[in-house]
Copies of this chain bind each other. A is one copy, B any other.
Amino acid sequence: MNGKQTTRLNHGVHSATLNKLRVAVIGGAEEVGINMTMIEYGKDIILIDCGLMFPDEDMPGVDYILPDVSYLKGKERNIRGIIITHAHLDHIGAIPHIAPILHNPPIYSARLTLGIISKRQDDFRDKPRLDLREVDVDGQLKLGEFTVEFIRINHSVPDSLAVVVRTPEGIIMHTGDFKIDLDPINDQVTDFAKITRIGKEGVLALMADSTNASKPGQQLSEKYIGKTISDIMEKAEGRIIVGTFASNLNRVQQLIWAAQELERYVVLEGLSMKTNVEIAKELGYLTVNSKTIISPEEAVKLPPHKVIIIGTGAQGEDRASLMRMVSGEHRYFKIEEGDTIIFSSSVIPGNERSVQTLKDMLIREGANVVHYQMMDVHAGGHAQQEDLKLFLRMVNPKYYIPVEGHLDFLWTNGQVARKLGWLKERVFITANGRVMEFAGGEGMMTREQLPAEYVFVDGLGVGDVSEIVLRDRQMLAEDGMLTVIVTINGHNGKVVGNPDIISRGFIYMKGNKSLVEETRRKAMEIVSPKVINEKPNPVYLKNKLRDELGEFLFKKLQRRPMVLPVVVEV
């Protein structure tokens, strides 16, 4: 915008209202995942995306993480809808948990996205039915004071959308996840005309994907990858096994095309892979010859050079098909000498070691492993710096708000705009729950902070694993635990019998009997009353045991197991 078009933004300003436009990234401003953006004006709220995130090593035992929607509690009636940009878990994964909490508002998206949301809901049979509403990508949606439009965008899954929200204060545009792909797979190309048209109208703020903002240059078209993959496949003499994300439907499409060209049959492995392909096929987003996809039972009867297995597990996941094939736990397939394994997805940060282990296991079985370091079998789904610049130039927003990524990514994305001339005060580096306000064509980062704690899902529990529990898990992992059970006479404080010691994750007890004995004696000594017939104080004794045994063990071994004292009075 750079000042020149500021006046045009005033078209949206209602002189009579005291309301402000409030925008907050509920999740996705400090991480890759739990994407959710809130746009609020008066009594109207819309949400964009509702994603989950997988935990990192600091969150042991956690299955996944949800965004914190506490601010919306009590405001459920204001929520006009959740708009979903595309069918990836970091944008749809929290729906089964969060939609019911928010009183099941309508969920708007394109056809394939809704198909995948709907299918996934089958895993949550105890939850109420979702209110899914397909949008007309060329139409408009009236949601309270907001008018919502959509822009076709390209990503690694078809039917990805950017969202345009016309508010009384001006237009907010949200890119969703996007890349510029001038020759996309099974998808229409980005609607540049619409982007520039809306840009000409004047856009108050553009919220843009930061995932790959640290990479200079342009993202590669998915089609280039097709060629590379075909080349690798053509050279493979035996069976081919490709590991990729089930969510990367465009990659899966290319793999299927390559298989057909080489007259190989395709086996799909992994539940998410099978269901995603099924839905995409059904809704016409994936083309495949009727005889190409075969069952594992059929595949094992064919010679290896006629088979391609497309499966999940390229991140080294324990239970995924690739790991089961290499460890011999798969029902039909076992990795054999002569197999070619293609890792066709980038490694998610944090998974490097498990991927390394998987590769080593594959090589040990005699497989030929091709990974993206050796040959570029990966084109990402996210805008790189030149792509972000193109978007910025087309939209020319007054304010630029990087979203979707760690602070570092957001900041780097912000630098892209800064280098094109956007002033520092026009680039908002936000944080989860931080409220940005817009009024009279001007925006500001307020000091208002909405709740933005991670909500942990562990088994059937949602939100019952707190930071305290996680800290305990980390401590237990570090040096294990030791329970000491002391029985004392409630009248005279005398120790009855010998203290019991139970320990796990600290030392191997059977191999360290003398240390166990010493610990037992030490415990005796700690609780033995100095004065005969002293009435015992169990709380005092427990604290004493915890502190003094802890210190004793640390001196012995320089380890700090969690000491859990139990005092039984009889």
Q: Which positions in A face B, CB cutoff 8 Å? A: 30, 56-58, 60-61, 214-216, 349-350, 352-353, 356, 359-360, 363-364, 369, 373-374, 406-408, 411-412, 458-461, 464-466, 468-470, 472-481, 483, 485, 487, 496, 500, 502, 504-508, 511-512, 556-559, 562, 564, 566, 568, 570
Do A483 and B502 touch across chains, with their CB atoms under 8 A apart? Answer: yes
A349→B356 CA distance, assembly (Å): 9
Chosen A-B contacts, 28 in total, with CB atoms closer than 8 Å, are A56-B353, A58-B353, A61-B477, A61-B480, A215-B373, A216-B374, A349-B353, A369-B408, A459-B479, A459-B557, A459-B558, A460-B556, A460-B557, A464-B511, A465-B507, A468-B508, A476-B477, A476-B481, A476-B504, A481-B481, A483-B483, A483-B564, A483-B566, A485-B485, A504-B562, A504-B564, A566-B566, A568-B568
Nearest CB in chain B to that of A556: its residue: B460
A562 partner residues in chain B, CB cutoff 8 A? 504
A363→B459 CA distance, assembly (Å): 35
Given A469-B508, A481-B481, A557-B460, A406 contacting B566 (CB threshold 8 A): no
Given A476-B473, A512-B464, A566-B483, A30 contacting B504 (CB threshold 8 A): no
Given A356-B349, A356-B408, A406-B360, A469 contacting B480 (CB threshold 8 A): yes
Contact of A472 among B468, B473, B504 (CB under 8 A): B504
A406 partner residues in chain B, CB cutoff 8 A? 356, 359-360
Given A556-B460, A559-B458, A570 contacting B496 (CB threshold 8 A): yes
A464 partner residues in chain B, CB cutoff 8 A? 507-508, 511-512
A461 partner residues in chain B, CB cutoff 8 A? 507, 557, 559
A60 partner residues in chain B, CB cutoff 8 A? 477-478
Do B360 and A408 touch across chains, with their CB atoms under 8 A apart? Answer: yes
- Which 7 A-B pairs have CB atoms at the shortest separation, nearest pair first? A459-B558, A477-B477, A60-B477, A476-B476, A473-B505, A472-B505, A360-B407
Nearest CB in chain B to that of A510: its residue: B468
Do A566 and B485 touch across chains, with their CB atoms under 8 A apart? Answer: yes
A412→B356 CA distance, assembly (Å): 13
Given A465-B507, A480-B469, A61 contacting B559 (CB threshold 8 A): yes
Nearest CB in chain B to that of A385: its residue: B374
A473 partner residues in chain B, CB cutoff 8 A? 476-480, 505
Chain A interface main SS type = mixed
Cβ of A338 to closest chain B Cβ, rounded Å: 14
A476 partner residues in chain B, CB cutoff 8 A? 473, 476-477, 480-481, 504-505
Cβ of A107 to closest chain B Cβ, rounded Å: 26
A559 partner residues in chain B, CB cutoff 8 A? 61, 458-461
A418→B363 CA distance, assembly (Å): 16
Do A359 and B408 touch across chains, with their CB atoms under 8 A apart? Answer: yes
Cβ of A349 to closest chain B Cβ, rounded Å: 4
A487 partner residues in chain B, CB cutoff 8 A? 568, 570
Cβ of A480 to closest chain B Cβ, rounded Å: 6
Contact of A407 among B58, B363, B508 (CB under 8 A): B363
A487→B497 CA distance, assembly (Å): 14
Do B356 and A500 touch across chains, with their CB atoms under 8 A apart? Answer: no
A356→B211 CA distance, assembly (Å): 13
A120→B457 CA distance, assembly (Å): 45
A507→B469 CA distance, assembly (Å): 6
Nearest CB in chain B to that of A350: its residue: B353
A65→B350 CA distance, assembly (Å): 21
Most chain B Cβ neighbours within 10 Å, of A369, A466, A469, A476: A476
- List 15 extra interface pairs beyond A61-B479, A461-B559, CB under 8 A: A57-B57, A349-B352, A359-B407, A360-B408, A460-B559, A465-B508, A469-B506, A470-B505, A472-B504, A473-B477, A475-B504, A477-B477, A483-B502, A487-B568, A504-B562
A511 partner residues in chain B, CB cutoff 8 A? 464, 466
Do A360 and B30 touch across chains, with their CB atoms under 8 A apart? Answer: yes
Cβ of A397 to closest chain B Cβ, rounded Å: 22
Cβ of A486 to closest chain B Cβ, rounded Å: 10
A566 partner residues in chain B, CB cutoff 8 A? 483, 485, 500, 502, 566
Nearest CB in chain B to that of A470: its residue: B505
A458 partner residues in chain B, CB cutoff 8 A? 479, 557, 559
A474 partner residues in chain B, CB cutoff 8 A? 477
A61 partner residues in chain B, CB cutoff 8 A? 477-480, 505, 559
Most chain B Cβ neighbours within 10 Å, of A60, A214, A373, A511: A60
A496→B490 CA distance, assembly (Å): 14
A349 partner residues in chain B, CB cutoff 8 A? 352-353, 356
Cβ of A407 to closest chain B Cβ, rounded Å: 4
A468 partner residues in chain B, CB cutoff 8 A? 508
Cβ of A488 to closest chain B Cβ, rounded Å: 11
Nearest CB in chain B to that of A507: its residue: B464
Given A57-B57, A570-B496, A480 contacting B485 (CB threshold 8 A): no
A481 partner residues in chain B, CB cutoff 8 A? 476, 481, 504
A356 partner residues in chain B, CB cutoff 8 A? 349, 406, 408
A477 partner residues in chain B, CB cutoff 8 A? 60-61, 473-474, 476-477
